[in-house]
Structure 1
Amino acid sequence: MKRALVIRHVPVEGVAGFRAPIEAAGFEVDRVDVTDPGFPEIDIVAPDLVVMMGGPMGVYEIDRHPWIACQVRRLGERLAADRPTLGVCLGAQMMAAALGARVYPGGRQEVGFAPVTLNGQGASSPLRHLAELPMLHWHGDTFDLPEGAELLASTDLYAHQAFRRGPNILALQFHAEMGEDPRFHSWLEQWPDAIAAVGSSADELRAHHDAHGPNAVAAGRQMIAEWLTGLRV
């Protein structure tokens, strides 16, 4: 059986809705937390698929989180080998950094449910399943588009919401995996400052989660299922 490794940066940001299509594609899913003592020794080039999830830290916060430099370096080796890799939010930012692009604070928070705008490349990619559907956003950092990468989606606040490099490398700034996972309520409790920064409230976001979450996750699963069928291995 093919092996998928999910790299988790904080316990409240797991693979969530993406697990079902990954398993349906024939992958056995393993998970590792970056806080696990054995994480530095794990070969992240070897798995058939690596999925890197989000987290509240910034890629540039190496002084606070020394493991970031090691992870970005090893991720660079995986991407250089064109091994199938999916990154979400912080995971996408790490992919950009591993491909030589700058990652930096964007100066404003993007928190809540809103659609992403697909460009021509995005509309003909697996992201087409997300068209016009509100997706969950929760970030304040952004990145330059890596050299050789193809931009797929944007929002009014942040131009770089998704990119791919060939069929095997896909990075998503937004959270198409979230909308049915109860860990969302932990996000509301852990990061109230981000909610306040956009003039929203936990109650408002809960209501939007209930209204938009199921459709967002269903579309996200379709997107990942299609992407997995197109992998070149």
Structure 2
Amino acid sequence: MTPKRALIIRHVPHEGIAGYRAPIEDAGYEVDRIDVTDPEFATLDLCTPDLLIMMGGPMGVYEQDRYPWIACQLRRLARRLEADRPTLGVCFGAQMMAAALGGEVYAGPVKEVGFHPVHIHHDVSANPLHHLADTPILHWHGDTFTLPDNVELLASSHLYRHQAFRRGRNILGLQFHAEMGLDPRFDAWVDQWPEAVVEAGGDEQALRRAHADFGPGAVDAGRAMIRDWLTGFVGPTAYTIAAQPAAT
């Protein structure tokens, strides 16, 4: 039996799959990754992997002049989403999904950095985010997006309404970082972007304490959420869209 393949798109080296790796591997996926700086990325068919995971990054979807690969990735991502292939986006990855589905991504009014819960929309049937209820999880962003057509809003926070969405059972976008809490790369985030912490009204020491206090619980809840989502796929989903050159 051919193993299922999960591919991680990494937009910067210090934003990886972290705590989500365990439930994905437990579900029988062989996990591989590619960086957007890899020369092979420009010609990669994003419809091929059984599961695509797009992680975060400090860039904005609207910065396509500065990062030409964004437009190229969006075109290929749109084909994958149109084919309803299982896709997970985290933070910048979720913003890319929103844009590929027709939403607008833009700079928000405030930075959202720190650990706090999200409000789960329980009126959504079989909402996999119910595992996160009342659990402080990591937020680290300043951009937001309009909600695309034909998607369900799954969660909100006190600062940003659009925190998580899905289209059907196969496509899930998460603005927050429930994968983070046990990964040492968190220290690299704080070291690299201390101004974001201050701009959000916090300080480095308090954020590191929150990470120690809330991180393990956040990762446990995030893993349960991903396990739930992985078992709900509508499938098998046929790959019906032919591969296209990356530049089209």
Q: Is TM (by shorter chain) over 0.5?
A: yes
1:38-187 mapped onto 2 (5 Å cutoff):
38-122=40-124, 124-187=126-189
Identity of aligned residues (%): 65
- CA distance in structure 2 between the aligned counterparts of 1:158 and 1:146, rounded to whole angstroms: 16
The alpha carbon displacement at 1:67 in A equals: 0.3
Amino acid in the other structure paired with 1:198:
A
Between the aligned partners of 2:57 and 2:192, the Cα distance in structure 1 is 12
Question: Higher Cα Rg: structure 1 or 2?
Answer: 2
CA–CA distance in structure 2, aligned partners of residues 199 and 180 of structure 1:
23
Paired AA for residue 136 in structure 2: P
Q: Which runs of 5+ in 1 are unaligned?
A: none
**What is the CA-CA distance between 1:45 and the residue it aligns to?**
0.5
SS at structure 1 position matched to 2:84: coil
Q: CA deviation at 1:119?
A: 1.3
> Which ranges of structure 2 fall in alignment gaps of 5 or more residues?
236-248
Q: TM-score, normalised by structure 2?
A: 0.93
Contact 1:121 1:151 in 2 (8 A): no
CA displacement at 1:182 relative to structure 2: 0.1
Moved over 3 A (4+): 121-124
- 2:37 pairs, out of 31, 35, 38, with 35
Secondary structure in 2 aligned to 1:106? Answer: strand
Counterparts of 1:64 and 1:2, CA distance in 2? 35
Which position in structure 2 is the counterpart of 1:213? 215
What is the one-letter code of the residue matched to 2:96? M
Aligned partner of 2:13 in structure 1 is: 11
| 1:191 paired to 2:193 | yes
TM-score norm. by structure 1 comes to 0.98
Q: CA RMSD in A?
A: 0.9
How many residues matched? 233
